[in-house]
Structure 1
Amino acid sequence: MQYGLYSSFMGCFVYCILGTAKDVTLGPTAIMSLLVSSYAFHEPVYAILLAFLSGCIQLAMGLLHLGFLLDFISCPVIKGFTSAASITISFNQVKNILGLHGIPRQFFLQVYETLRRIGETRAGDAVLGLACLAALAGLRAMKSHLPHAAHAEPLAARVSYLIVWTCTTARNALVVLFAGLVAYSFQVMGSQPFTLTGSIPRGLPTFRLPCFSMAAPNGTVPFRSMVEDMGAGLAVVPLMGLLETVAIAKAFASQNDYKIDPSQELLALGFANILGSFVSSYPITGSFGRTAVNAQSGVCTPAGGLVTGALVLLSLAYLTSLFYYIPKAALAAVIISAVVPMFDAGIFRTLWRVKRVLVSGILLLYSMARPPVQVLEGDVLLVQPGSSLHFPAIEHLRDIICSRALAASPPHSIILDCCHISSIDYTVVVGLAELLQELRKHGLSLAFCSLQEPVLQVLLTADLEGFQHFPSREEAERCGAVEPGVSGAAPSTSTDVSSLLPTGLIQ
């Protein structure tokens, strides 16, 4: 818990300056904690160094404006992530509501063990947890139905409105404070029916560079060895932190109708991890639970992080002894109340009605692997793919061309009309080279026409043996009797097209 608190304040301050989502709070999360524990070998020195290196990687991505890569995180993915997170986080807190101990962290084992041991529920924790949940739900409903106080109303009415608004807005703090007072009262009377948070080490961390080596019983572990030990963690941890932060930011931005800048989020996360490592923080990311509490509390700007960070510092310096009396059931109720509204059952019904997700994915992959291909037979075989060529489709196209060309009597030479092809990849280039070679074995030629400039540029650079290209289908048909195996240079009309390209690309 000590290092969890050390990790909970620097991100708040940095994100206040650099972040673009008003609700997001950076800090330690369950997913990140599990990842760090596996790559840092439960050694604080490794964890702090991992935070520094992860921040450097994320900062470099932000400076290179690689935030556009995060546009590939689609709305269904974000909705699925937030809904799944709300379920797992909520159920993770059920054990605290029931006062159960020794429940595993893995979700399915957690469900099994919680249900199996439900008879061991502590009555005090269950009553307090359910009472806090009911109070939070009531206060949230009260706030949503609270009418605005008009200036013309009497002073007493406006003061009453202000008191009610303050209580409903600060409901999380009030519930925790009330539960703490109840627990302290029982402690004074000599009995304690609740599971308490317990002792937390007091004091602020020292501001210093992370250690780039570590003392070991048999010597010193140098920086290079530490990096080698962390291995794939140097890629997995910063990437997971990035995905978690942006998914949370996009989810709350969509819910509260504002926009985020992914590249700026990368900068914020990178700086937060780098500076956090100076105060003994392990890698942090967007916290779904704390962000949900932020949103439910009504924050309006990222400056809410100043309050959060200041409270963590104040707590570390002076209030850790008071945390002892906060019941875990009350904290669990606050978290559950914050994350449950993020579960969006409607998105699954909508996706099922609009397009069956799995079937849609299969159809998308099938359309990439089997694009429509139009084949016209005449003096030459004219083949026209209906969309761009990607690596799953090249074998299908080769099969069509070879089977149709060789089935004709006599076999036809082929014109490949590329007017609908806007991009090709390396595998397609290799497949076309093999197709040209196979057709030459049968004495046939393959000519390309209507190549768009990016595609023509790639094929010219590849220097395919026997490559012929023409500016139009008509020109290719007029010159369709070109002998196979001739030089890659095209007729003069086609050469005029290639002359528009940089000379260094023409082999």
Structure 2
Amino acid sequence: MNLLPAWLRSYRPAWLAGDLTAGVIVTVMLIPQSLAYALLAGLPPEVGLYASILPIVAYALLGSSMTLAVGPVAVASLMTASALQPLAAAGSAEYVTLAIQLSLISGVMLLAFGALRLGFLAHFLSHPVISGFITGSAVLIAVGQLKYILGVKVAGSDVLETLVGLAKALPQTTPVTLAIGGASLLFLLLARRYLAPLLTRLGVPAKAADLMAKLAPMAAVIVSTAVVWLFKLNETAGVSVVGSVPQGLPQLTLALPGVSTLGQLWLPALLITLIGFVESVSVAQSLALKRQQRIQPNRELLGLGAANVASALSGGYPVTGGFARSVVNFAAGAHTPLAGVISAALMALVIAALTGLFYYLPYAVLAATIIVAVTSLIDLKTLKEAWHYDRADALSLLATAMGVVALGVEAGILMGVALSLAALVWRSSHPHMAVVGRVPGTEHFRNVERHAVQTVPGLLALRVDESLFFANATVLEDRVEALLAHDPSVRRVLLICSAVNQIDATALGVLTQLERSLASRGIEFTLAEVKGPVMDRLRSTELGQRLQGKVFLSVHEAFEHAVQVGN
């Protein structure tokens, strides 16, 4: 049995240049992001660096995407902070231990889901709910970082409290911190929008210009760190800096959670697992399609699970696939996960020898990096499209976003899922039903209210466009009775089941009672186009016995029968 991953067994030397380039570029991008997202998670900066080494290697061994860049991301960092801040003081040893255990629990869940082949969980959360969750999280994150831009201390459990606290703390703003943070924020915003076109006009190839624009955060880090160091602004102007970052590779340890810790962390871990998996698969699939490659969701579960367990072993916190880094990795020419392995090796070098360079890095610049990164996640386009196409989906998106902003991460996502399920049940409980007739000269049957069709006197042909279950069975019965009351001449009711994939026990009881009621009034009840699996279950029932000889293969056959019997 060959334990090497398939991409490594079939590796081509021609791919090496692209993988090396991508590995270096992603590392340059990953350094400020790792530090910033650790800050967002309420963790010491080195924890973000630790989460950027072994997890990448573990994913490379088991994951299925050739270009997904795994590591700390904004949303998972926010969810980590949301889960742990009620349990321990941010940055404390207990807090760090809980973050490590959260990563371990999430990793074990992902591995278990992968072993059980539950890759379909990627479709468990609807796109509007995911969009609403990420949008709400982006707002929550951006507002929470403003205190670092202003250089003030503000406590707030939600956006409103934080904004009120910021307003009250404005007089205590540190001017130099605001200048550094504001300048960095402005530079990053302008770089994101205008730097690539500017470089292109100056003669830089479009691909290289786009990559250089995405590396603007590293430029902001280097320049601001140099300015603070040169003028000692941390001492003379009160600028908050990262300070000493422990040098040296992390020790491999396994901090197993106790029963009480499991009870506190299993739900946050599950939400991080689901959100991280869905987000990663979405990014990986979009990039794979550009190269006619395929993503295996079950392998993704194993790869992400291994990455999170590796993060826990090396003192990190929950990780997942990052959108921005993955896009840069792809654009920089990565062909295989070797690019990620190279990035991990370079990050290990940084941690082993270069962490002293981060001492004068201002927190305000890390906050600006986070704000610019997350504002691009606010998805107003999906909201607009959903509002015009399906208000229920749009309301689910809005409710999820507002729930995250007002009530917190866990409450927001649970609210979105609940609303999505409620919308699904509501739609299913109000199925579209149409009385149909024959299109003249054909064997096609269409809605009598939409098309000029022919009907058979005394025949009511009703098509129901939904599976029948407890929530909509009586709706069907009421519709049939209403149509019969409107046309007392009806002697035959034909139920067209071409869209019915299942009939549950409640619906079976309603149909059985309906058939008996119709028979007592001298009205024949028949079915057409019943799917094989549905018919297999009906045969052994009372309804199936009573309908022997009254189930037709096609609507055309049922219409012909009605014409013959009528004549």
Mark yes or no: TM-score above 0.5.
Answer: yes
Please list every run of at least 4 consecutive aligned residues from structure 1 whose deviation after the TM superposition is greater than 6 angstroms. 38-41, 160-167, 254-260, 359-364, 375-380, 406-410, 478-481
Closer/same/farther in 2, CA of residues 309 and 93 from structure 1, 3 Å limit = farther
* Secondary structure, aligned partner of 2:219: helix
What 5-or-longer segments of structure 2 have no aligned partner? 1-42, 89-93, 396-422, 438-454
Q: Provide the residue aligned with 1:434 in structure 2.
A: 510
Deviation at 1:90, TM superposition (A): 3.0
Q: Report the 3-state secondary structure (helix = DSSP H, G, I; strand = E; otherwise coil) of the residue aligned with 1:52.
A: helix
**Distance in 2 of aligned mates of 1:24 and 1:478:** 66
Counterpart position of 2:23:
none
State which of 280, 288, 293 in structure 1 corresponds to 2:315.
280
What displacement does 1:226 show?
Answer: 5.7
- The within-5 A match list for 1:14-413 is 14-16=58-60, 18=63, 20=65, 22=67, 24-27=69-72, 29-34=76-81, 36-37=83-84, 47-63=99-115, 65-71=117-123, 80=132, 83-104=135-156, 106-137=158-189, 139-140=191-192, 141-147=194-200, 170-187=215-232, 191-211=236-256, 214=258, 227=262, 230=265, 232-233=267-268, 235-246=270-281, 253=287, 261=295, 263=297, 264-287=299-322, 291=324, 295=328, 299-301=332-334, 305-306=340-341, 308-343=343-378, 345-352=380-387, 354-355=388-389, 357-358=391-392, 365=426, 369-374=430-435, 382-391=460-469, 392-402=471-481
Instruction: Return closer, same or farther for 1:237/1:78 CA change in 2, 3 Å cut-off.
Output: closer
3-state SS in 1 of match to 2:315: coil
Change over 3 Å in CA distance of 1:386–1:408 after alignment to 2: closer
Preserved CA contact (<8 Å) 1:433 1:465 = no
Change over 3 Å in CA distance of 1:71–1:163 after alignment to 2? closer
Report if aligned partners of 2:243, 2:358 keep a CA contact under 8 Å in 1.
Answer: yes
In the alignment, the residues of structure 1 paired with residue 371 and residue 57 of structure 2 have an alpha-carbon distance, to the nearest angstrom, of 26
Q: CA deviation at 1:278?
A: 2.2
**1:25 deviation in Å?**
3.4
**Structure 2 contact 150–178 (Cα < 8 Å) conserved:** yes
Aligned-pair CA distance for 1:194: 1.3
1:477-492 matches, cutoff 5 A:
none
User: Structure 2 vs 1, CA of residues 189 and 83 (structure 1 numbering), >3 Å: closer, same or farther?
Assistant: closer
Q: How far did residue 235 of structure 1 move?
A: 3.7
Tell me what 1:6 maps to: 50
Give the whole-Å Cα distance in 2 for the aligned partners of 1:21 and 1:73. 24
Q: Distance in 2 between matches of 1:161 and 1:413?
A: 72
Distance 2:120 2:206 in 1: 45
CA distance 1:91–1:480, change in 2 (3 Å): farther
Within 2, Cα distance between the matches of 1:408 and 1:266?
57
2:529 aligned partner: 450
> Residue 20 of structure 1: SS of its match in structure 2?
coil
3-state SS in 1 of match to 2:462: strand
| Superposed displacement of residue 476, structure 1 | 6.9
CA contact (8 A) 2:430 2:472 kept: yes
- 1:9-53 superposed Cα distances (whole Å, 9 cap, x missing partner): 332333445352746432263333135427987666665444334
Deviations 1:267-310 (A, max 9, x none): 3212212222322334333456xx36974996443655445534
State the distance in 1 between where 2:509 and 2:310 align. 52
1:167–1:174 contact (8 Å) kept in structure 2: no
Q: Which amino acid aligns with 2:516?
A: R
CA distance in 2, matches of 1:33, 1:440: 59
Could you tell me the TM-score, scaled by structure 2's length?
Answer: 0.65
Q: Per the alignment, do residues 297 and 139 of structure 1 end up closer, same or farther by CA in structure 2, a change over 3 Å counting?
A: farther
Aligned-partner Cα distance in 2 for 1:189–1:349:
45
Query: 1:88-141: per-residue Cα shift (whole Å, max 9, x none)?
Result: 433332221111223435333323322343332211111111222343355552
The answer for the alignment partner of 1:502 in structure 2 is: none
- What is the alpha-carbon distance in structure 1 between the residues aligned to residue 327 and residue 206 of structure 2? 22
Structure 1 unaligned regions, length at least 5: 151-157, 215-220, 482-507
Query: In terms of mean alpha carbon deviation, does 43-52 or 260-269 score higher?
Result: 43-52
- Match of 2:216, as an amino acid? R
Q: How many residues align?
A: 456
Distance in structure 2 (CA, Å) of the matches to 1:163 and 1:385: 58
SS at match of 1:181: helix
More displaced, 134-143 or 375-384? 375-384
Q: 1:39 to 1:422 in 2, by over 3 A?
A: farther
Deviation string, structure 1 residues 27-81 (Cα, Å, up to 9, x no partner): 2633331354279876666654443343233234345554344346666556555
- TM-score, scaled to structure 1: 0.71
Computing the radius of gyration from Cα coordinates, the structure with the larger value is: 1
Q: Which amino acid aligns with 1:12?
A: I
Give RMSD over aligned pairs.
Answer: 4.7
Amino acid at match of 2:530: L
Whether the 8 Å CA contact 1:249–1:260 is kept in 2: the answer is: no
Asked if the contact 1:402/1:439 (under 8 Å) is kept, the reply is: no
User: Percent same amino acid at aligned positions?
Assistant: 24
Verify the 8 A CA contact 1:416 1:446 in the aligned structure 2. Answer: yes
Partner SS, residue 232 of structure 2: helix
> Would you say the 8 A contact 1:436–1:466 is kept in 2?
no
CA distance, structure 2, for counterparts of residue 119 and residue 188 of structure 1: 20
Aligned to 2:17: none
